[in-house]
A and B are shown apart, each in its own frame.
Chain A
């Protein structure tokens, strides 16, 4: 069982590495003109590098060999909804350009990539123009369904989850006690069920929400952990991702809210009648906006901050070289980055836990039935 799994894992890794190297080679040929051949070594460049990392990206970039200007990366598919319908191509067509210099023509639609966003040039424009604030004036954003790095990360996390947990599920057919990696996963499932869902939602109703809670918990946790690897995912640091998760929670607890919940929210008993509409507005705003907002911002801010701090501490090695010399600055950066990374491992779990915890708390509030009054 374990051996079979490790073979699978190795196969996946080999697949990834081979595709990466072949694509890197492909990138090689197209890259000659664009390599800057400079090291990222000034504070501004570091800031830009970090900001760039925190954003989503359309190709999977590992590192750049500055001597030859080769980017070791593989392109991801770009799928955009333009004024002329759906367009799909590989991001390699942008040649790693992120400053709207390379124009990709697709059926009379000109597309450029600027700061990890894809813009469509207005009809007739042959190059992009900017205003003073560096906003493009003759291009607009398109709806971007690309398999970006974040989408790739989500797919990877989903794949890992399916792999791990279907194996666990299959394991129960052989015996009541799981073997191998299932032994690690089972306590986690039990933890989510017994420590998060049951106490907050209640014994009678928790079962219905387990699918969502478990999926979200492991999804966030795996993505947080993937974010700590040098591959450099920052999925849970994308505000669209956390917003989507929070909206899911919101929709779930609003849809499954009990009659008692609506009664208490819209016409609070035991309160002067004049106050009731005001309270209803406050409660509604709280449930529809504030609670999901707190969920999405908490996860987003924590993960973004974590990435920012770790990268900044790694960058200390370069920024402090002038003041302390190469050995001291490297040592300092190593110790601090190690320290923060260990904390980030904790935070990765903690944020997944908090998100799931609060989701189940809100669901519990909504489905609760009062037997008094």
Chain B
């Protein structure tokens, strides 16, 4: 302890104090202040840059989701339009089909009707002709039959016999 105290130099203490004060002042003015200021500026710059990057990212994200939404909407719209078109087409086809069917059946019915009427007319004509023919034949036959007395009697007799039987 005594040697320690003996070694303690007041002059050195004072010199050290003076040097330290001057050094602190000089360093503060010429080194620490500019260094710390620039460090702080740089750190703030980095922080700001990070914040704005994050902001830009979020904006981008928003934009993306908006785009996505728009795209989805457009897709849905397209889908709806397609569906509508398809429906319309189907309906049109269906309509055309039924119409055609109706038309066809109508035509068929008409054809059938005309066939029927033709047939009736034909039958009527046929009947008429057959009747005429029969009358002609009958006239001729009767003429033939009545030219001969025997035959007239015979006929009358046969008819009478038939009538009895009836």
Residues in A lying within 8 Å of B, measured CB to CB: 55-56, 80-81, 117, 143-148, 150-151, 154-155, 158, 161-162, 165-166, 168-170, 172, 176-177, 186, 189-190, 193, 207, 210-212, 214-216, 219, 238-241, 243-245, 247-248
Contact = CB atoms under 8 A, between A and B. Distances in A.
Interface string B14-58: 111101101110111011111110110110010000000000000
Contacts of B23: 158, 161-162, 215, 219
B13 A243 contact: yes
Closest 8 CB pairs of A and B: A144-B11, A165-B31, A172-B38, A211-B28, A169-B34, A240-B12, A244-B16, A240-B13
Interface of B: 4, 6-17, 19-20, 22-24, 26-28, 30-36, 38-39, 41-42, 45
Nearest to B37: A172
B30 A162 contact: yes
A186 B36 CA distance: 10
Contact of B35 (A169, A244, A248): A169
Contacts of A168: 31, 35
Contact of B16 (A170, A172, A207, A240): A240
Contact of A145 (B8, B14, B30, B36): B14
A150 B12 CA distance: 8
A188 B37 CA distance: 15
A239 B31 contact: no
B139 to A, nearest CB: 141
Q: Which of B12, B30, B33 is the most central at the interface, judged by chain A CB atoms within 10 Å of its CB?
A: B12
Tell me whether chain B's interface is mostly helix, strand or loop, or mixed: helix
14 contacts: A55-B7, A117-B6, A151-B12, A161-B31, A165-B32, A176-B41, A189-B36, A211-B32, A215-B32, A238-B9, A239-B8, A240-B9, A240-B13, A243-B13
Nearest to A189: B35
A206 to B, nearest CB: 10
Nearest to B18: A145
Contact of A148 (B8, B12, B20): B12
B36 A176 contact: no
Given A172-B38, A238-B9, A240-B8, A154 B16 contact: yes
A162 B26 contact: yes
Q: Does more than half of chain A's interface fall in helix, strand or loop, or is it mixed?
A: helix
A139 to B, nearest CB: 14
Contacts of A207: 36
Contacts of A155: 19
Contacts of A158: 19, 22-23, 26
Identify which of B14, B24, B35, B41 gathers the most chain A CB atoms within 10 Å of its CB: B35
Contact of A165 (B19, B27, B41): B27
A135 to B, nearest CB: 9
Nearest to A146: B11
Contacts of A177: 42
Contacts of B42: 176-177
Nearest to A157: B23
Contact of A144 (B7, B9, B27, B33): B9
A226 to B, nearest CB: 14
Given A176-B42, A189-B39, A169 B20 contact: no
Given A176-B41, A239-B4, A240-B12, 17 more contacts: A117-B9, A144-B10, A150-B12, A151-B15, A158-B19, A161-B23, A161-B31, A169-B34, A189-B36, A189-B39, A211-B28, A214-B27, A214-B32, A215-B23, A238-B12, A240-B13, A241-B13
The residue among A148, A151, A240 with the most chain B CB atoms within 10 A of its own CB is A240
A3 B151 CA distance: 168
Contacts of B28: 211, 215
Nearest to B12: A240
Name the residue in A168, A170, A172, A177 with the highest tally of chain B Cβ atoms < 10 Å from its Cβ.
A172
Which of B11, B27, B30 neighbours the largest number of chain A CB atoms within 10 Å of its CB?
A: B11
